[in-house]
Amino acid sequence: TPQDYEAVINRFNNYYIPTAEECEAIFEITGTSRDRISHGRATSRVSGAIGQALREAGQEVDIGLIMASALLHDIAKGKPRHDEAGGEILRGMGFDLAADIVGVHTDLAGKLPDDVPLSTKIVYLADKYVRGDTVVDLETRYQISREQYGKDPDIEKHVLLRKERALRARQEIESLIGTPLERIVFAETGN
């Protein structure tokens, strides 16, 4: 039928994005915990809200890609360099674009936010806004990190560097959408 044909064409055009069923299979294959899946779902919702705000501001954003990448971003949590490990898992499954995002979601591979694609920044920031499955502001997120890990001056320096990178990414996205990002993020959760 014409509807079947349209569905096949749509799937072909979005073949590089894991479907909901594929994401569930990836969770099962990787043994992703329920807590990590809940975190991924919350991060995916926040990514989608940021992506939609950017799209409404005239930016080209593949919302399906960012939401799937955000959902899967912690599939290798608990392994050394879990972001890179997760990216490699997805690359091995043929999801290269999602792998590129997941592979640097923790720290943008040490790059400045200006040096990574917009889709990567979106997932990176959404992850920073979600602690567990709860949305928090960036100040709270990094204050908690400093309290947990900041007893060591080297670790505190690293936490502050990560905070600075996140604030820079937030500023860039806010300049594109013309509104405070936390207004978008918290509107997504009803807070």
* Rg, C-alpha atoms of the chain: 17
**pLDDT of amino acid 150:** 63
Does 131 score more than 90 pLDDT?
Answer: yes
User: Higher-confidence residue: 77 or 154?
Assistant: 77
Tokens 């300049």 appear where? Answer: 175
From residue 110, give the alpha-carbon distance in Å to each of 11, 99, 102, 127, 188.
Answer: 34, 17, 14, 16, 29
- pLDDT band at 146, cuts 50/70/90? confident
